[in-house]
Amino acid sequence: MSSATPTRPDSSSNLLVALGVAVVVAAVVVVGLLWFLISGGYFAAFGRWLYTSDVGAGLRYVLVALAMLVPVLLSTAVLIYAERKIWGSVHLRRGPNVVGPWGVLQAFADFGKFIIKEPVIPAGANKGVFLLAPLVSVVLAFAGWAVVPVSDGWVVADINVGILYLFAVSSLGVYGIIMAGWASNSKYPLLSALRSAAQMVSYEVSIGFVIVTVLLCAGSLNLSDIVRAQDTRFGFLGWYWLPLFPMFIIFFISALAETNRPPFDLTEAESELVAGYMVEYSASLFLLQFLTELVAVLLMSSMTAILFLGGWLSPLPFAPFTWVPGVIWFLIKAWFVVFCFSMVKAFVPRYRFDQLMRLGWKVFLPISLFMVVLVAAVLEFTGLGAHVSG
């Protein structure tokens, strides 16, 4: 490596070799350990213990929840990278390309930066509420994932009122923002909080009506049942995006507003409010607020995939396509919606606040209200909506 001429040491190849050796050693250790545990019957005993004892049941809940939360957290890292690459491509830039190969480790580098910085709490802030706000946001953002079915039966809590739970949790998301804005004791965050409260309450109304039309068609509040109701012989033409097309569009736009995404990111409009409710937040507290937004985007995308794009169902309901595991179809659909979210951010200019309110109250509310009546009437008079499973 080193020679007479002082050149820049090629540290990356050394690092790669070390990494490779470490991976091989780790793989051997893991395989050996697995072999020992399986051949000794420890796994079978552990499995029985999980299902028989009370402590085991508790541990099972924790493990199931982790099986959901860890992929969600990893998805947020992918989301950051994917979005920045997409915006880069739209702007004819390269996007993140320095940290790791093709810049894929950018999100982790940002993460590391945020957690080693010092969180600054402003002197005039209401300390308790200031610290509580990011926690409330992030807990609520993750709580929604409890009822999301990623495949048939792959759901943490298959509750009867799943869709209402999701709606409730997403409507509580506004508290993180209001509390942050008020507790910061600063004028931009307060204005941002007021905007956010008005915006999220307004768009919840139309989201609620969209959900009602889907419920009328599906006849159930359970998210798995809503997906199963879309399982017709027409494949992707039978998913609710086509029969309820206007509602699909309204839901997508309302989801943008509900997650404070562009073109409705008036709560953090940098030209007016610096960074809105996040102005006074730094380091790990900021990271939590930032994470909340990303998780909310993923949750809304998953919700769109479940309500309108048939969740885990295959688009073509015959052999080679139905062999593909449902979770793959679900991921494809959810990430397609995420891609649409990113593209909207890339090329739609920001709305003005009065335009936003006009769109919510004077356009979406009447249309969605009318559609609820129309869908109910169609289902009633054609006899399609006769079955109510519960």
Partner 1 sequence: MAEAVLFWIFSTILVGSAIAVIMARNPVHSVLFLILAFVCAAGLFLIMGAEFLAMILVVVYVGAVAVLFLFVVMMLDVDFARMKQGFVEYLPQGLLIAFVVGAELVYVVSGWSASPKAAAAATPSGTLSNTAALGQVLYTRYFYFFQAAGMILLTAMIGAIVITLQHKAGVKRQDIGAQVGRTREAAVELRKVPSRVGL
Site map (CB under 8 A) of partner 1, residues 94-133, x = contact: --------------------------------x--x----
CB nearer partner 1, residue 44 or residue 168: 168
The counts of H helices and E strands in the chain are: 15, 0
Q: How far is the CB of 195 from partner 1 (least distance, A)?
A: 11
Is-contact 148 227, C-beta < 8 A? Answer: no
Residue 386 phi/psi, 5° resolution? Answer: -70, -30
CB nearer partner 1, residue 184 or residue 314: 184
Quick one: which segment of 115-123, 153-161, 235-243, 319-327 binds partner 1 (CB under 8 A)?
153-161
CB nearer partner 1, residue 200 or residue 285: 200
SS3 assignment, position 230: coil
CB nearer partner 1, residue 151 or residue 185: 185
Contact partners, residue 330, CB within 8 Å, separation at least 6? 150, 151, 302, 305, 311, 312
What is the DSSP secondary structure assignment for residue 363, as one 8-state letter?
I
Sign of CA dihedral 48, 50, 54, 55: positive
CB nearer partner 1, residue 79 or residue 174: 174
For partner 1, how many residues bind (rule: CB under 8 A)?
Answer: 31
- Of 41, 101, 320, 390, the residue at the interface with partner 1 (CB under 8 A) is 390
Token code pair at residue 87: 């915006």
d(CA 189, CA 310): 39
Token code pair at residue 250: 């309204």
Quick one: which segment of 1-9, 22-30, 169-177, 370-378 binds partner 1 (CB under 8 A)?
169-177
Can you state the angle between helices 245-258 and 365-382, rounded to 10 degrees? 140
Compute how many other C-beta atoms are within 10 angstroms of the C-beta atom of residue 47: 12
Token code pair at residue 4: 């007479």
Token code pair at residue 225: 């049942």
Q: How far is the CB of 43 from partner 1 (least distance, A)?
A: 27
- Of 50, 78, 90, 198, the residue at the interface with partner 1 (CB under 8 A) is 198
Q: How far is the CB of 284 from partner 1 (least distance, A)?
A: 22
Site map (CB under 8 A) of partner 1, residues 318-357, x = contact: ------------------------------------xx--
What is the DSSP secondary structure assignment for residue 160, as one 8-state letter?
T
Footprint of partner 1 (CB under 8 A): 126, 129, 159-161, 164-165, 167-168, 171-172, 174-175, 178-179, 182, 190, 193-194, 197-198, 200-201, 204, 208, 221, 354-355, 358, 388, 390
